[in-house]
Copies of this chain bind each other. A is one copy, B any other.
Amino acid sequence: MILWSEVSLTEQAALLTRPAVSQSEVILDATQQIITRVKENGDQALRELAAQFDQRDSARLQVPVDEIKQSGSLLSAQLKSAIEQAYANILAFHTAQQPTDIKLETTPGVICELKYQAIDAVGIYVPGGSAPLPSSVLMQGVLAQLSGATTVVLATPVKGQTPISPAILYAANLCGIETIIEAGGAGAIAAMAYGTETVPKVYKIFGPGNSFVTMAKQLVSQQVPGLAIDMPAGPSEVLVIADERADAQFIAADLLSQAEHGADSQVILLCNCAKIITQTEQAIEEQLTRLTRADTAKAALANSAFILVDSIEQAFEVSAKYGPEHLILQIDDAARYVALVKNAGSVFVGDYTPESAGDYASGTNHVLPTYGYSQVYSSLNLLDFYRTYTVQTISKTGLKTLSNAILPLAEAEGLDAHARAVSIRLERLNNE
């Protein structure tokens, strides 16, 4: 346990410093090679990569639409309705985010509009790894569905003979996704960025992944003009602020639910009561014994911090410095403190709001800025699937009025053709 006020500023900074994420040259080169292969050889390259990395020979690259449509029948009633319940809540919360155009007459005869256009073609990457992630499909697919994007591509890895989990297919089906590509890693990202015979080219690529996927997203976003990616990805993290009346078992469970994500996950507890911190440490030891992913959780806990603060207010200051992806408030009258929140991705208010509620089903999005990006990046929201543009419509009178601003400014900036485009019109008006 660390007493925040008694450690030096340097130690405080060190406590809030994330484990460095390796961006080795090796990963860079390997990723670039894969991208080049897919750019040049399309489907053939994807098949070679499937054989090379996924133990698949002459792999099929796309899931037949029938398999997607019928996937529900392969699920237990319980899991099926769980996916449907999560879908409904995510749909409701993101439907409330539908944008509306803005129209304003800034000056008589000068009408300015801000309009929203759905991004036409989007790609969603869903990592495979240790377990299928239907929730990742919902958290991105619902938004693509709401935006009305005309092309939605979902790519997810297939290992050997194991087919894509029906839970993933069913979640995609609810989101109306019909293009599911059986490819993973940098190859899948490159395929969506450049397009192949089978994979449609997209304009924006969403989704988390391992260091090759992250590197590939970064590289293609620099190499393909007109391509965007969602946000920089980093290890997952949670910060819990708890007070003297908090339940140590709840705190322990929340910290562990983050720690089990990966060895590079980071968990931080800020508490104003030493007793609760000690109890939490004990509760973690005890709960760890029951977890299948205990080793992962232990590794994550190794680079984590349990900090005793002077006050709850101080805890919020420390949290703002750290900028946690997830912020859990297990404090008395927690709602009253939400106004103090700064630089958090998603906030969980009160003893009965665990992070896993937001990870799956409350309706909020679980794609969140991490690694300190929460001071500047947004949690994934519907507007990430739209772009804005402006429209102006100016009457003859409107242009006359504006010319008093345009002409002196164009002159000051030494751009006479800018002035000329206005004066030539004024001349025409004067001759009318």
Contacts and interface: CB of A to CB of B under 8 A. Distances in A.
Interface of A: 18, 76, 78-79, 81-83, 85-86, 88-89, 92-93, 96-97, 102, 104, 106-107, 110, 112, 114, 117, 119-120, 130-135, 165, 167, 203-204, 218, 222, 225-228, 247, 249-250, 253-254, 256-257, 259-261, 287, 290-293, 297, 323, 334-335, 338, 341-365, 369, 371-379, 381, 383, 386-396, 398-399, 402, 404-422, 424-425, 428
A79 B408 contact: yes
Contact of A354 (B371, B378, B422): B422
A189 B247 CA distance: 47
A403 to B, nearest CB: 9
Contact of A130 (B97, B389, B399, B414): B414
Given A104-B92, A356-B421, A167 B253 contact: no
A375 B409 contact: no
A375 B120 contact: yes
Contacts of A354: 399, 421-422, 425
Number of copies: 2
Nearest to A358: B392
Contacts of A349: 391-394
A424 B253 contact: yes
A418 B265 CA distance: 14
Contacts of A112: 89, 93, 362-364
Contact of A254 (B82, B260, B421): B421
Contact of A413 (B132, B361, B365): B132
A388 to B, nearest CB: 4
A388 B378 CA distance: 5
B365 A247 contact: no
B394 A362 contact: yes
Contacts of A82: 404-409, 412
A231 B424 CA distance: 34
Contact of A260 (B131, B411, B418): B418
Given A410-B360, A413-B135, A287 B420 contact: yes
B356 A119 contact: no
Given A102-B97, A218-B222, A387-B376, A417 B257 contact: yes
Given A257-B415, A257-B421, A356-B419, A402 B203 contact: no
A234 to B, nearest CB: 8
Given A104-B363, A346-B392, A355-B418, 18 more contacts: A81-B404, A86-B405, A92-B106, A93-B112, A93-B114, A96-B114, A106-B362, A218-B222, A228-B377, A250-B424, A253-B421, A335-B393, A338-B391, A353-B394, A354-B399, A359-B406, A364-B390, A383-B383
Contacts of A394: 349-350, 352-353, 357, 362
Nearest to A94: B114
A8 to B, nearest CB: 20
Contacts of A422: 354, 356-357
Contact of A418 (B97, B356, B417): B356
26 contacts: A79-B408, A81-B405, A82-B404, A83-B405, A86-B409, A97-B114, A107-B362, A112-B364, A131-B413, A226-B371, A226-B372, A250-B425, A292-B416, A293-B416, A334-B393, A347-B392, A349-B391, A350-B394, A352-B395, A354-B425, A355-B418, A355-B421, A357-B394, A374-B387, A375-B387, A383-B383
Given A361-B402, A412-B79, A104 B96 contact: yes
A399 B110 contact: no
